Structure 1
Amino acid sequence: MQDTYIFQPIAVVNSPYKEKFGIPRQPGLAETVTSSITLLPEFSTQEIVRGLENCSHIWLLFVFSECLEKGWKPTVRPPRLGGNKRIGVFSSRSPFRPNPIGLSPVKLINIEITEGCTTLFISGADLLDGTPILDIKPYLPYSDSLPEASFPFAENIKLLQQTIFFSESALSTLATEERRLAQPIKNQITELLRCDPRPAYKKNDPDKSYGVKLHDLNIRFRITDEHIYVDLIEVTRQA
């Protein structure tokens, strides 16, 4: 058996997620957030994606590129278990793995081919901007969906149900930025915050303010037992 395998990225992700903090921990949790995948020049041909337009969903195999230098450990503390209980890395979706490879199913919206550039538009991705893609595969409903599957550590997703309040300042910025970006920013922020991006060990501090990056915006928010507050939306783009 060969000891080492070398894989070449075939594409790169263009995502509104500009930093790891705040990205949904699983795909499909923020369906209104759209991203795109640009095939690298040597793979950017019409033939290579022929027939893919018939897929409603696709699998993406990618590299946790921001974790390459941080190594891995045999056990991890998943946020899903409160950040305190350790389980084996192979029992988790941790990005810190012996081989930092991820797998995400996403919705395929459209394929655009212009002047030798092939771009796939997708929604529901949980990928950082600039993530290298190793492979793209069709999602097959008859074999990839397994209703009888179970895993007691993660039987279902628990989204936050608190009422979300946007400050007057945040609403004012939203009105401008939704027009500029042509994106449903308010809905996207709502989906992201209901996934509760806070570190597990800080969830008992209702006064703690956090910032999550989306597009070129910094969303400042707080979460209490009763409410989610979006206090400020700052534009971070360069002048």
Structure 2
Amino acid sequence: MLDENSLLDNYHQAPVIGYHRASLSQKFGAPRQPNLVALTSVIEMLAPYDTPAAFDGLDKFSHIWVSWQFHHNYRYKNNNKTSSDFRAQVRPPRLGGNQKIGVFASRSMYRPSGLGLSVVKLEQVKIVQGRVLLIIKGADMIDGTPIIDVKPYVAYSDALIQTENGFAPTAPELLNVTVTDAANEQFMMLVNTGEPSNAHSDTSNNDTNIKDANTGSNSATVASTIHRIQNQLITSDMSIIKELIAQDPRPAYRRIEIATPFVMRYKSVDVSFQLIESGQLQITAVAAI
């Protein structure tokens, strides 16, 4: 039988090749699976993995696989990686947060590897200041997530139609989300004070208007490109905020609580919402951080 030291020797060390830059900086509110919300974000590649030659041909694929690390998992946040932390069973939110299943039958963040795997839409392979930024859509990762690998999604082998999906046969049911007049007014005031004059015409929120700084066509930098997607509030963000809240990020055991406020941080604002008597989730306030 292997002892703990022998088990630790079997850990595979993978380099961090980049970081995810996104409008969601906290776990609360983040989609629990990829492609549930068309949220635009950026993978900032690190040297030496940010060389454009390494991505030659990737723009011919519409989607990519992304391997990443659950960096807000308490085991990895504190560098506490020992085999004694292994959890054989977890409580998936999809089953109400009370029923246990095997960790390998779930997508829980509390798994031995601490690794996540997502398919996302590749919007653009962007070269800025000689570095590669991957503009993606539909990620279930939060800001600062370490990226371990990127590879193309190939439908003929990766898309399997006739499958059994266990306790998650269909996408979760969405809740209706309303916005109070006061919250909408607060949001619009923050948009009007925080975005440039041409931002209202940008409904795609995919940063395609920022061009490669090396061409001289625009004065984009890596920092400004990331900032625009990560922090700048625009009018179309309200639709994204409603889609995120419609997924119901509240803990499963608190979903019957009426008029209990919850707060989701998105870009530069905190969005307060609550369940109302009608069974809808209602956004009640939007405040600058």
TM range (shorter): over 0.9
Distance 1:229 1:22 in 2: 14
1:14: which partner in 2? 21
Are the counterparts in 1 of residues 66 and 150 from structure 2 also a CA contact under 8 Å? Answer: yes
Distance 2:186 2:152 in 1: 39
Ranges of 4+ aligned residues in structure 1 off by more than 3 Å:
69-72, 176-179
1:227: which partner in 2? 280
Q: Percent identity?
A: 34
The answer as to 2:154 corresponding to 1:140 is yes
Secondary structure in structure 1 of the residue aligned to 2:147: strand
1:39: which partner in 2? 45
Distance 2:191 2:86 in 1: 40
The answer as to 2:33 corresponding to 1:26 is yes
Distance 1:176 1:48, change over 3 A: farther
Distance 2:235 2:16 in 1: 29
Distance 2:12 2:59 in 1: 30
Read off the aligned partner of 1:25 and give its amino acid letter.
Answer: R
Greater Cα offset, 99-108 or 150-159? 150-159
Aligned residues: 234
Distance 1:183 1:222 in 2: 22
Unaligned runs of 5+ in 1: none
Greater Cα offset, 204-213 or 169-178? 169-178
Counting only pairs closer than 5 Å after superposition, residues 32-181 of structure 1 correspond to structure 2 as 33-67=39-73, 68=76, 69=78, 71-162=85-176, 164-178=177-191, 180=195, 181=232
2:218: which partner in 1? none
Which structure is higher in strand share? Answer: 1
The answer as to 2:236 corresponding to 1:189 is no
Read off the aligned partner of 2:27 and give its amino acid letter.
Answer: K
1:35-76 Cα offsets, whole Å, 9 max, x none, are 000110211111100000011111100011111147441100
Secondary structure in structure 1 of the residue aligned to 2:249: coil
Read off the aligned partner of 1:46 and give its amino acid letter.
Answer: P
Alpha-carbon distance, 1:158 to partner: 2.2
Alpha-carbon distance, 1:169 to partner: 2.1
Distance 1:149 1:178, change over 3 A: farther
Are the counterparts in 2 of residues 178 and 184 from structure 1 also a CA contact under 8 Å? Answer: no
Greater Cα offset, 165-174 or 210-219? 165-174
Are the counterparts in 1 of residues 19 and 147 from structure 2 also a CA contact under 8 Å? Answer: yes
**TM-score, normalising length: structure 2:** 0.77
Give the greater-gyration-radius structure (CA).
2
Distance 1:189 1:72, change over 3 A: farther
Alpha-carbon distance, 1:157 to partner: 1.3
